[in-house]
Structure 1
Amino acid sequence: MTSSPPDSPEAPDSPCSPGSPGAPGSTTPVPGAAGPGDDAPSGAQGAHALGLREEIMLVAGRELRVLLLRRSSIVSMIIVLVLTVGGILTTSAVIGGGQGPYRVGVHGAEPRVVAGLDRVVDSRGEPVEAVALAGVEPAAALQEDAPEGSAVDMVLDLSGTRPVLLVRGRADETVVSGITALARQAALSEQIASLGGDPARVSSTLTKATPTVEVLDADARDSAELPARYAILMVMDLLVMLALMGGGQVIAMGVVQEKSSRIVEILLACVRPASLLAGKTIGVGIAVVVSLGGIGVAGALAAAATDLLSPTTVRLDAIVLAMLVWMVVGHAIYAVTFAAAASLVSRREDLRAVTMPLVALMTIAYTLTIVMALGDPDQPVLRALSYLPPLAPFMMPGRLVLGASSWADQLIALVIALAFLPALVRVAAEVYTRAVTRMGARVPLREALGALGSSESTSAER
């Protein structure tokens, strides 16, 4: 889990080395530091001999030491992982212990056939309970209001010339495989005994003995997975929300703290403004993805090991991979935006006003995923909104969980987001650079963007 930025701008948390120009406690003048009235800092002129990459890694390392590598952060992360895995194991034990055996009703067969089904097991590895349906129609035994003692999960109908398995919703594939093997073995034994083992006739008999699955209620089959898919969606979206919201707030608080204490002027004597912004984004991003993404991976492994989400065809490994990718992309989108917004103010009291639109945008994206889960995720409006870069980190993995998105859709949305990022980063970096050293009253966004427009005009004239 990530922690809040340090309250004290001491040397261990500063990229500048102790004793270097501009380092905390140093009496050496700070060359190139911008004053409160300057529009933009010149950026580490004469005080550093580092390249852009080294500056970024220096700042990113500082953020990682503060947020992830402290003993308190490591201990809290371990505790959360243990609680997550332990909670899943406990839930699986409680739910699994309360489930009854998988009941298979047999229609149109002798009692010896019913007795042979005790060798078949379900997906949990538990033996099925075979029930002879006497005087009860197969379809009636599958209904919720079936007569007492005759309610079953599956019916093996042997009254016709070919075995048929009837299910109301989704069939347990393990049970289907077991019954298929049992039916083939019985047919093979009978054919060999009566015909002397003619290969052609034995093969034909085995083919006819393979039961077909007929779903009586397609809607029930589709809805059988909804609880598991909804649970996956809620957990995944919560982790994405915590990662993006938490990472953005950590960066915003750090920017305002450094600005209000004027330590940003010392930092900018050591690194360029763009390096400071990039380092913060990368460092905080690694911290939140490792901590929250690790929780998601551990939870998925525990759920898969305990078969907690059965029945479902959702591939948890693919879902977790998509979540991690969109978590990284979403952090890049929102982190630079939070940093640019926070650079407009100098007091923590003003931070909420400038970050509220971003929080509202995340809340809208989170709400839309719930709307998809409760409604039709293939609605044209929801489908179009899911391709928008600010909404895609929430909606695209959600559509994948709900089975409403292909990997091609995910790739298209990812390409759009990656194409959108450079322009967003450029605007955010310019706003951050021009506003981060301006103390006092809040810098109007229009003024910061106006300065960006004037710089573009100057570059065009040159």
Structure 2
Amino acid sequence: MNAHTPTAPSAAQSVWLVAEREIGSRLRSKTFIVSTVILFLIALAAVVWGGFSASQSNAITVAVTSDTSSAVTGVDGLEVTDADSTDAALALVEDGTVSAALIPSDQVPDAAAPASGPFDYTIVANDEVPSGLMPLLSQSPAVHLLDPSSTDFLLRYFVALGFGIVFLLAASTFGGTIAQSVVEEKQTRVVELLISAIPVRSLLAGKVLGNTILAMAQIVVLAAIAVIGLSVTGQDLVLTGLGGPVVWFAVFFLFGFILLASLFAAAGAMVSRQEDIGSTTAPITTLVMLPYFLVIFFNDNSLVLTIMSYVPFSAPVGMPLRLYLGEAMWWEPLVALVILIATCIAAIVLGARIYSGSLLRMGARVKLSEALSRR
């Protein structure tokens, strides 16, 4: 045998060659670079804006009665509303006119007995004590919550929005890119040259690997932006609560993206024209969009979030959010991750079968049954 005869690349080498090609083509794309920079700038602006908004000490609205008005006399940072009675003060709290009310301790609603202690008044609020109210008072009186809640609603909403948007943008952007790349290679017949040197499954694995690396790089940079932004703007408390959930989000996103990327590649292989991509990727796009809308509309629904955290397509959003809210037990993310990995493996096998059975078929859209039946 001639010593100079080139040897075929191994499976691992083939996968990495394709991955390098995917990464290189994306990094040479001005559209990709510009959109990525814009995404990072928007994320930085959002974090900084949120931090400075939170740092602005707006006056806390408080209702008092004639019996408790002396407790806020001379206290700065409060917007005091005088109520005619305890019932009137409570009504102001319930309808959101004020954030809290100071009422006599022996008139606390639904209290079994008057609150004991050095105070003759109690703070009453809807779901939580307004941030900054307690330090403004010389001492800490008893607290009675009408509707207890562990997390500030606005903060809860923005954390849910953040997880949902990042997952939606990264998965849909890179997933769509994979599908378009596959169709483009079919249209230009480049795929015929590629598979003459590289096995079909290695081609698929390389595409998934390359785009996964790029997607995870974006997630890491976004996480760094969040950490730096929260630190600079003095939101250490928020940062401490988000640390663990963000790490879990990255882990769940990794396997969730591989799952979706495999399906996007398979969907792209089923058509031969860019115009037809939507017909095969629509169901997958719906799966990507669903977690975003669910956390926006049901971020305060424990049942919906629990179901989301175990469904593979929504677990990357649902489980980290539940961890942030403190609603998940320590073992739940591990169980959800096992389910996600098992589903990911099944999706890779299914996607590879469809990809292999459709890649060289030109013309009309390949039916799913035909793609699965081809060897």
TM-score tier by shorter-chain length is 0.7 to 0.9
Cross-structure match for 1:332? 258
Match for 1:372 among 298, 302, 315? 298
Cross-structure match for 2:271? 345
1:89 aligns with 2:43: no
Match for 2:129 among 171, 179, 185? 171
Following superposition, the deviation at residue 334 of structure 1 comes to: 0.7
Q: CA RMSD in A?
A: 4.0
Q: Which amino acid aligns with 1:325?
A: V
- Alignment check: 8 A CA contact 1:47 1:270 kept: no
- Alignment check: 8 A CA contact 2:60 2:99 kept: no
Cross-structure match for 1:412? 335
Following superposition, the deviation at residue 157 of structure 1 comes to: 7.2
Instruction: State percent identity of aligned pairs.
Output: 27
Which range moved further: 153-162 or 66-75?
A: 153-162
- Alignment check: 8 A CA contact 2:315 2:336 kept: yes
Cross-structure match for 1:428? 351
TM-score scaled by length of structure 2: 0.77
Distance 1:145 1:418, change over 3 A: closer
Within 5 Å, give how 1:241-390 maps onto structure 2: 241-299=168-226, 301-303=228-230, 305-306=232-233, 315-373=241-299, 376-378=301-303, 383-384=306-307, 386-390=309-313
Within 5 Å, give how 1:96-135 maps onto structure 2: 97=56, 99-100=58-59, 128-129=77-78
Q: Distance in 1 between matches of 2:178 and 2:99?
A: 56
Which protein is richer in helix relative to its size?
2
Q: Which amino acid aligns with 1:377?
A: S
Following superposition, the deviation at residue 228 of structure 1 comes to: 1.7
Show CA shifts across 1:408-433 (max 9, x none).
Answer: 22221111111222232122212212
Q: Which amino acid aligns with 1:63?
A: E
Distance 1:161 1:75, change over 3 A: closer
- Alignment check: 8 A CA contact 1:105 1:156 kept: yes
Cross-structure match for 2:142? 213
- Indicate the SS of the match to 1:268: helix
Q: Which amino acid aligns with 1:417?
A: L
Q: Distance in 2 between matches of 1:288 and 1:320?
A: 15
Following superposition, the deviation at residue 251 of structure 1 comes to: 0.4
Cross-structure match for 1:194? none
Match for 1:225 among 145, 149, 152? 152
- Alignment check: 8 A CA contact 1:251 1:284 kept: yes
Q: Which amino acid aligns with 2:270?
A: L
Distance 1:369 1:86, change over 3 A: closer
Distance 1:136 1:349, change over 3 A: closer
Distance 1:143 1:391, change over 3 A: same
Distance 1:99 1:134, change over 3 A: closer
Distance 1:78 1:171, change over 3 A: same
TM-score scaled by length of structure 1: 0.64
- Indicate the SS of the match to 2:196: coil
- Alignment check: 8 A CA contact 1:55 1:275 kept: yes
Q: Which amino acid aligns with 1:358?
A: I
Cross-structure match for 1:51? 10
Q: Distance in 2 between matches of 1:153 and 1:436?
A: 64
Following superposition, the deviation at residue 98 of structure 1 comes to: 7.4
Following superposition, the deviation at residue 83 of structure 1 comes to: 3.4
Q: Distance in 2 between matches of 1:62 and 1:275?
A: 13
Q: Distance in 2 between matches of 1:135 and 1:440?
A: 76
Higher relative contact order (CA 8 A, sep 6+): 1
Cross-structure match for 1:448? 371
Q: Which amino acid aligns with 2:303?
A: D
* Structure 1 unmatched runs, 5+: 1-45, 119-126, 184-210, 453-462
* Structure 2 unmatched runs, 5+: 107-115
Q: Distance in 2 between matches of 1:104 and 1:145?
A: 8
The structure with the larger Rg is 1
- Alignment check: 8 A CA contact 1:105 1:130 kept: no
Q: Distance in 1 between matches of 2:83 and 2:273?
A: 79
Following superposition, the deviation at residue 145 of structure 1 comes to: 6.8
